[in-house]
């Protein structure tokens, strides 16, 4: 072992630890790996920067644009809408149909927007069937994963793997090559989730479901501290504005900005506005509080009481508010709603809401008027749970163009007319030119952080190849198997080891990062052992996507984690059996379709 090989393994371990701790964004971790690889001269400078010419990340970005155009035109509404009518069917059949529909759609477009669109549909379906949403949300996330592994364009992991193979001189993946294993895996997964789901899936409550009907509907009003008020200089507690009086202060606005307030210490100032929530019976008590003015001061708009609704929404993927706190966003002034609580990773947060940076998938419990809710629904930052945003009819008319574009990309690759990277870019440009998606929306739809994770991990994979780390690791794995496994069983043991190691890593790391890390090792194992490379490559690709046992292994799992009120153990309970089923299917199908020798 050389110092270069040792450094590569140190970088791999460091990357895993950094990804797990989540203290540093994954894209920054990946780019840091790139910098170290270049600075330590583990890879020649020209070769290191050549990763930015790898077609895989560009193809992934183009497919994000095509997926976004399909969603924005409302094409998924035609599939999701009729599912409302299946509420009269038995639970098992409903889940099977849900998994089948979501898996089919996810085979053609990025699976994250598919789950985002189907979540409100599923929540409404759960209410109509009288069941908790937690009985349905894990199945649609798993369905998106299962559908994604059936085609080349079904998930970014497949495209990344294809780019690595082409750059290494290996044959690229066919458009439907993975269907040999993807389709049987999806069918078995759908049967498992429909038959075992009701027993294994938990009954979890969402944030609003734990509130009484009276608590869900309150009145939101504002009070003004006028000049000369005896409350100036007093804290909220000293002013007698407490929850026990039938109302509560949601926010104090000073000079147009919401401020952090300690009810026992922070003094009120002239001109402060208090946002007050109260039930109908508390309005009179609020208005009777001395020292406040509930009428407009000179030159300002009338301060009125509005009936408000408590509702939920999730921070959308690619939302512009990710990484910013409620205070930094000036949330109430920007969205005209008040955040009451945040649900993250099974925990409800009610304290220090103003300073907590928001993350993708955070569930916000909010209060606002119907007008404010409709304003939120038209935006892309927060996905409301009552129903998905409705695109305009002018966009509906462009659905055939989007579908034709996807068909063109698929046929171009299938018939070997146009490489997938060229077809995807051409499709994205065509959709922008025809108005199916605006250029600004196209750029916003791309998960740039993911692309930079891919670039960084490609550099690390290249370092494994150039330093000999992949060959060294492959040699030692083959040597260990030779010592303990009989010759006739060595190929299958090798295949099983590659699959299981990849599966374990993808439960805790980005699936794209795992694919970039494991493919060089798989190719090295094939060269060292004399086995065919293709079956080991297929095992890596399938296992890198088959992440079911943790809520952090796949983005769709993370997204529905808080929405369904799940606990970490819920994914383990439901996901481990599905992981085992996928493993068994892979061990049967891969050697049959792609011979090991």
pLDDT digits over 309-334, tens only?
A: 777 788 887 788 888 888 888 887 78
- Which superfamily does 306-384 belong to? Regulator of K+ conductance, C-terminal domain (3.30.70.1450)
Checking DSSP bridges between strand 363-368 and strand 273-278, what pairing results, if any? unpaired
If you average pLDDT over residues 73-86, what whole number do you get?
74
- pLDDT, residue 98, reads 92
Other Cβ atoms closer than 10 A to 502: 27
- Look at residue 110 and give its three-state secondary structure: coil
- pLDDT, residue 559, reads 82
pLDDT over 90 for what percent of the chain? Answer: 30
pLDDT at 209 over 60: no
More confident residue, 160 or 239: 160
Other Cβ atoms closer than 10 A to 140: 25
Checking DSSP bridges between strand 247-254 and strand 273-278, what pairing results, if any? antiparallel
Of 50-54, 223-227, 515-519, minimum mean pLDDT range: 223-227
pLDDT at 5 over 80: yes
At residue 308, φ and ψ (nearest 5 deg) are -115, 160
Tens-digit pLDDT profile for residues 515-572: 988 999 999 899 888 899 999 999 999 999 988 998 877 888 888 887 787 888 889 9
pLDDT at 393 over 60: no
- Look at residue 364 and give its three-state secondary structure: strand
pLDDT at 85 over 80: no
Q: What predicted TM-score, i.e. pTM, was given to this entire model?
A: 0.79
- Which superfamily does 209-287 belong to? Regulator of K+ conductance, C-terminal domain (3.30.70.1450)
Q: Residue 465's closest CA among 516, 499, 513?
A: 516
pLDDT at 448 over 50: yes
pLDDT at 287 over 80: no
Region label for 299, one of left (φ > 0), alpha (ψ between -120 and 50) or beta (otherwise): left
Tens-digit pLDDT profile for residues 96-107: 999 999 999 999
Q: Residue 571's closest CA among 346, 252, 309, 261?
A: 346
Residues 6 or more apart whose Cβ sits within 8 Å of residue 443: none
pLDDT at 303 over 50: no
pLDDT at 575 over 90: yes
More confident residue, 297 or 74: 74
If you average pLDDT over residues 337-354, what whole number do you get?
70
pLDDT at 248 over 80: no
The C-alpha atoms of residue 126 and residue 171 are separated, in whole angstroms, by: 45
From-to residues of CATH 3.30.70.1450 in the chain: 209-287, 306-384
The C-alpha atoms of residue 590 and residue 596 are separated, in whole angstroms, by: 8
Q: Determine contact, residues 277/218, Cβ cutoff 8 Å.
A: yes
pLDDT at 297 over 60: no
The C-alpha atoms of residue 59 and residue 63 are separated, in whole angstroms, by: 6
More confident residue, 240 or 143: 143
Residue 305: C-alpha distances to residues 103, 219, 308, 443 (Å): 46, 7, 9, 40
Q: What is the overall mean pLDDT for the chain?
A: 83
- pLDDT, residue 302, reads 37
**pLDDT class of 345 with cuts at 50, 70, 90:** low
If you average pLDDT over residues 376-402, what whole number do you get?
72
**Residue 516 is inside which H or E element, if any?**
helix 511-529
- pLDDT, residue 592, reads 94
The C-alpha atoms of residue 335 and residue 350 are separated, in whole angstroms, by: 19
If you average pLDDT over residues 363-390, what whole number do you get?
75
Of 67-76, 184-193, 291-300, 488-497, minimum mean pLDDT range: 291-300
At residue 567, φ and ψ (nearest 5 deg) are -105, 160
If you average pLDDT over residues 117-128, what whole number do you get?
83
- pLDDT, residue 152, reads 93
The encoded tokens of residue 295 equal 């009428």
The C-alpha atoms of residue 437 and residue 458 are separated, in whole angstroms, by: 30
The C-alpha atoms of residue 476 and residue 484 are separated, in whole angstroms, by: 13
If you average pLDDT over residues 504-511, what whole number do you get?
85
- pLDDT, residue 486, reads 83
- pLDDT, residue 24, reads 84
- 586 burial type by CB count under 10 A (0-12 exposed, 13-18 middle, 19+ buried): buried
pLDDT over 70 for what percent of the chain? Answer: 86
Highest mean pLDDT range out of 172-181, 270-279, 388-397?
172-181
């Amino acid at each position: 072992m050389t110092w270069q090989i040792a450094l590569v393994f140190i970088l791999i371990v460091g990357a895993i630890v950094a990804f797990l701790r989540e203290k540093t964004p994954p894209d920054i971790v990946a780019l840091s790996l790139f910098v170290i690889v270049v600075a330590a001269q583990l890879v020649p400078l020209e070769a290191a920067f050549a990763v930015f010419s790898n077609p895989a990340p560009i193809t992934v970005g183009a497919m994000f644009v095509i997926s976004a155009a399909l969603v924005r035109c409302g094409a998924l509404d035609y599939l999701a809408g009729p599912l409302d009518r299946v509420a009269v069917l038995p639970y098992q059949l409903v889940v099977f149909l849900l998994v089948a529909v979501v898996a089919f759609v996810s085979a053609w477009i990025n699976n994250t927007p598919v789950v985002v669109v189907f979540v409100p549909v599923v929540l409404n379906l759960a209410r109509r069937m009288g069941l908790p949403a937690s009985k349905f949300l894990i199945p649609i996330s798993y369905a998106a994963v299962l559908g994604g592994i059936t085609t080349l364009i079904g998930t970014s992991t497949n495209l990344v793997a294809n780019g690595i193979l082409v750059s290494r001189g290996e044959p690229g993946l066919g458009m439907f090559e993975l269907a040999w294993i993807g389709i049987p895996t999806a069918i078995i997964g759908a049967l498992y989730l429909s038959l075992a789901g009701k027993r294994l899936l938990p009954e979890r409550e969402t944030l609003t479901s734990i509130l009484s009907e009276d608590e869900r509907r309150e009145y939101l009003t504002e009070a003004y501290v006028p000049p000369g008020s005896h409350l100036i200089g007093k804290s909220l507690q000293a002013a007698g504005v407490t929850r026990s009086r039938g109302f509560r202060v949601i926010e104090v606005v000073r000079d147009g900005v919401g401020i952090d307030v300690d009810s026992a210490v922070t003094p009120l100032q002239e001109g402060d506005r208090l946002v007050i929530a109260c039930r109908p019976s508390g309005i009179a008590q609020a208005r009777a509080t001395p020292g406040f003015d509930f009428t407009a001061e000179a030159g300002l708009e009338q301060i009125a009481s509005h009936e408000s609704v408590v509702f939920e929404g999730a921070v959308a993927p690619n939302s512009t508010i990710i990484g910013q706190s409620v205070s930094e966003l000036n949330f109430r002034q920007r969205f005209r709603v008040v955040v009451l609580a945040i649900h993250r990773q099974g925990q409800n947060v009610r304290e220090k809401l103003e300073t907590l940076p928001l993350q993708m998938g955070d569930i916000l419990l909010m209060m606002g008027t119907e007008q404010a809710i409709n304003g939120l629904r038209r935006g892309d930052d927060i996905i409301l749970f009552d129903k998905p945003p409705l695109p305009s009819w002018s966009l509906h008319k462009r659905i055939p163009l989007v579908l034709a574009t996807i068909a063109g990309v698929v046929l171009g690759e299938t018939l070997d007319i146009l490489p997938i990277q060229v077809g995807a870019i051409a499709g994205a440009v065509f959709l922008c030119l025809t108005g199916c998606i605006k250029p600004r929306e196209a750029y916003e739809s791309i998960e740039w952080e993911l692309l930079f994770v891919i670039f960084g991990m490609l550099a690390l994979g290249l370092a494994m190849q150039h330093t000999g780390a992949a060959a060294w690791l492959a040699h030692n794995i083959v040597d260990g198997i030779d010592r303990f496994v009989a010759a006739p069983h060595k190929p299958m043991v090798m295949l099983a080891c590659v699959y299981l190691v990849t599966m374990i890593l993808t439960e805790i790391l980005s699936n794209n990062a795992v694919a970039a890390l494991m493919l060089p090792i798989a190719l090295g194992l094939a060269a060292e052992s004399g086995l065919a490379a293709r079956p080991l490559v297929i095992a890596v690709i399938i296992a890198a996507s088959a992440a079911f046992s943790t809520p952090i292994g796949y983005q769709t799992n993370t997204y529905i984690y808080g929405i369904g009120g799940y606990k970490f153990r819920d994914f383990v309970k439901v996901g481990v059996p599905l992981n085992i089923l996928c493993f068994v299917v892979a061990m049967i199908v891969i050697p049959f379709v792609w011979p090991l020798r």
